[in-house]
Chain A
Amino acid sequence: MLEVKTLDKSYSSSTIPFRKKSVKVLENISFRINKHETLCIVGESGCGKTTLAKCLVSLEKPDNGKIILEGRDVTFPDRKTLSFLHTKVQMIFQNADTSLNPRHLIYDSLAEPLRLQGQNEDKVRKRVFQLLTHVGLSEEHLHRHPHQLSGGQNQRIAIARAIALHPDLLIADEITAALDVSVQAQILQLLKTLKKEMDMTLLFISHDLTLVKRIADRVAVMQDGKLVEINDTNEIFHNPQSPYTKELISSMARLSLNSHTPK
């Protein structure tokens, strides 16, 4: 459904003081996301995972390459294409506590994407209530601000906002990195149900391999802005090809719950 062809992106010197050269953050990235699958991107912090996700929703402009969504080029979208892109692809950000506007009521945060699509207030209202029950929260949460909710609850709101326009592809960028394991399990269960109910495709970005092993259909491994390996989950974990993937997997295994070793 989405195809990325030879994507390059570098941040120029003006954003990084005292350095003349530009810094390459994405180098020759090509892959495709198939309909209904869960593709996970793993890699350590700073490897370009988030930049790649931002390019896909046009929050960053790539230097080179093409992004093709259902046959339509959305690399450098004009107004009309952008609207098309945003009804098809939505993104949930790393930290819900900071990605929700702190001065907006939860209701307004949820209503905003609907209003932007020109829906009337009655319809918006109905949909907001519907979304809220979808993500397991109740009406009492609507008239609060983000700081009055817990991290897990805020993440639910962020998910509700992302699915408000029935996207086909949902990009989830480290959405459980700041959460405890029990809340992480709640959020992932929610995501799984929603994906099934709404027939969505999921691009899940994470640095937690144990988690990825659990939920992914396919895994893409990134290192220093390059895609080093992409394969079915089973293959990646049982038959890793690149040295970097091997290192990641052996670190994961040595930290596993069963490898209790002290003294």
Chain B
Amino acid sequence: MLSIRDLKVAFESPQGPITPVDSVDMDILDKETFTIIGESGCGKSLLANSLLGLLPRDAKVCGKVHMDGKEILSLKEKEWRKIRGNKIGLVFQNPSASLNPVFTMHNQLYETLKYSNKPSSRDKMVSLLKKTGIKNPLRRLSQYPHQLSGGMKQRFAIALGIATDPEILIADEPTNGLDVTVKLKIVEMLSKLHAERSILLITHDLNVASNLSDKIAVMYAGELVEIAPAKSFFEKPIHPYSSQLLASHPEKEMIPIPGFTPQLTQRPHGCRFHPRCALACRKCKTEHPQLEKIEEERYVRCFACA
């Protein structure tokens, strides 16, 4: 459905060129929940925004993204508008900041529906809010964002994302900052939605990832280092970074990964994870590994594991 080949996002910085997203290859299948996990600053959100043509002007994007066989990265702004919302929907990070504080829910939903030429009747809105589990939808429509709780705002943000019935929904950290009881409800709601469409989920929350995903991709320093079916990933992660990330979770041994994530301007030569990796050999320091297929549906970027 969506196939991404060698996608790069680069910027000029005072310290020289930086590439926060580097050579990303992945395929999202129809009605599949594909999750990208990784730590803050690894390039997850930038990758998501590049799929919608929502990058700052000074960003240089190269590579190919095909949606249903059509290349979309080279589109003009006018053509992008047909894709955004209609084909690919987005649930922004942090709804407290991304919803417009001076418009009611009704206004914001109306705007979204109108610009994608969808029927914008009140009934349609009510059914959308019901679908995302918002109780008393008629009253909610006339309220402003500050009158809703964090969980409610998140539900509304998701309602905005699916309002135009996109084929793919990109959800960027949809459970950030929510309490465990609310988080569970959002996860349950999202898992109902995923029977209808593909979802690209972006999160650093391993619990959410494990409960929603069909496939997992792990991102480290701008690169995907492992792609695997979710079940086998959580049973047996292969890349050293993946296994150490899982091991640092409180449900597991909670062993920290030594060292810090590299800065954009000072990425190590060779494998980007080698300074923190227990399995690193000489080759890892000098040569850059590629994403290799090692089993059916499993790809790993590592000399030691491939």
Residue in A153, A214, A256, A262 whose CB lies within 8 Å of B260: A153
Is B230 interfacial (CB-CB < 8 Å)?
yes
Could you tell me if B244 and A182 are in contact, using CB atoms closer than 8 angstroms? yes
Is B265 interfacial (CB-CB < 8 Å)?
no
Chain A contact-residue range equals 35 or more
* C-alpha spacing A151/B261, complex, angstroms: 11
When A180-B39, A251-B181, A255-B184 are in contact, do A262 and B33 touch as well, CB less than 8 Å?
yes
- Residue of A182, A183, A257, A259 most packed against chain B (CB within 10 A): A182
Among B228-259, those with CB < 8 Å from A are: 230-231, 234, 244-246, 248-252, 254-257
Could you tell me if B194 and A262 are in contact, using CB atoms closer than 8 angstroms? yes
* C-alpha spacing A44/B185, complex, angstroms: 14
Is A1 interfacial (CB-CB < 8 Å)?
no
Cβ–Cβ < 8 Å partners of A254 in chain B? 184, 211
Q: Mark B1-34, 1 if CB is under 8 A from A, else 0.
A: 0000000000000000000000000000000010
Is B179 interfacial (CB-CB < 8 Å)?
yes
**How far does the Cβ of B32 sit from chain A's closest Cβ, in whole Å?**
10
Among A143-168, those with CB < 8 Å from B are: 150-153
Q: Mark A225-263, 1 if CB is under 8 A from B, else 0.
A: 000000000000000000000011001101111111111
When A207-B179, A254-B184 are in contact, do A188 and B254 touch as well, CB less than 8 Å?
yes
Could you tell me if B213 and A44 are in contact, using CB atoms closer than 8 angstroms? no
In the complex, which residue of chain B has the Cβ closest to the Cβ of A150?
B260
Count of A-B residue pairs with CB < 8 Å:
105
Is B292 interfacial (CB-CB < 8 Å)?
no
* C-alpha spacing A183/B234, complex, angstroms: 20
Is A208 interfacial (CB-CB < 8 Å)?
yes
Is A83 interfacial (CB-CB < 8 Å)?
no
- Residue of A184, A189, A262 most packed against chain B (CB within 10 A): A262
Is A186 interfacial (CB-CB < 8 Å)?
yes
Could you tell me if A214 and B213 are in contact, using CB atoms closer than 8 angstroms? no
Q: Mark B186-227, 1 if CB is under 8 A from A, else 0.
A: 010001001000000000101110111110000000000000
* C-alpha spacing A211/B248, complex, angstroms: 11
Among B23-56, those with CB < 8 Å from A are: 33, 39-41
- Residue of A153, A183, A184, A257 most packed against chain B (CB within 10 A): A257
Residue in B180, B231, B254 whose CB lies within 8 Å of A255: B180
Cβ–Cβ < 8 Å partners of A185 in chain B? 248-250, 254-257
* C-alpha spacing A243/B220, complex, angstroms: 41
**How far does the Cβ of B31 sit from chain A's closest Cβ, in whole Å?**
9
**How far does the Cβ of B288 sit from chain A's closest Cβ, in whole Å?**
22
* C-alpha spacing A188/B180, complex, angstroms: 20
Residue in A188, A214, A257 whose CB lies within 8 Å of B210: A257
Cβ–Cβ < 8 Å partners of A251 in chain B? 180-181, 183-184
Among A31-83, those with CB < 8 Å from B are: 44-45
* C-alpha spacing A150/B42, complex, angstroms: 13
Is B89 interfacial (CB-CB < 8 Å)?
no
Cβ–Cβ < 8 Å partners of B191 in chain A? 261-262
When A45-B179, A207-B180, A262-B213 are in contact, do A256 and B251 touch as well, CB less than 8 Å?
yes
* C-alpha spacing A45/B180, complex, angstroms: 10
Is A210 interfacial (CB-CB < 8 Å)?
yes
Could you tell me if A184 and B248 are in contact, using CB atoms closer than 8 angstroms? yes
**How far does the Cβ of A136 sit from chain B's closest Cβ, in whole Å?**
10
Cβ–Cβ < 8 Å partners of B251 in chain A? 210, 256-258
Cβ–Cβ < 8 Å partners of A188 in chain B? 254
* C-alpha spacing A252/B40, complex, angstroms: 23
Could you tell me if A183 and B39 are in contact, using CB atoms closer than 8 angstroms? yes
Is B166 interfacial (CB-CB < 8 Å)?
no
Question: B-contacting residues of A (Cβ < 8 Å)?
Answer: 44-45, 150-153, 180-186, 188-189, 207-211, 213-214, 247-248, 251-252, 254-263
The 6 A-B pairs at the shortest CB distance, nearest first, are namely A185-B256, A186-B256, A185-B248, A44-B179, A180-B39, A210-B250
Question: A-contacting residues of B (Cβ < 8 Å)?
Answer: 33, 39-41, 150, 177, 179-184, 187, 191, 194, 204, 206-208, 210-214, 230-231, 234, 244-246, 248-252, 254-257, 260-261
Can you name 18 extra interface pairs (CB under 8 A) apart from A182-B245, A259-B210, A260-B230? Answer: A44-B180, A45-B177, A152-B260, A181-B206, A183-B256, A185-B249, A185-B255, A210-B249, A248-B181, A251-B180, A255-B180, A255-B187, A256-B207, A256-B251, A257-B252, A258-B210, A258-B251, A261-B211
Q: Give 30 A-B contacts (CB < 8 Å), ordered by A residue.
A: A44-B179, A45-B150, A45-B177, A45-B179, A151-B40, A181-B245, A181-B250, A182-B256, A185-B254, A185-B255, A186-B257, A207-B179, A208-B180, A209-B180, A213-B250, A214-B254, A248-B180, A251-B180, A251-B184, A252-B180, A255-B180, A255-B187, A255-B208, A257-B251, A258-B210, A260-B211, A261-B191, A261-B211, A262-B211, A262-B214
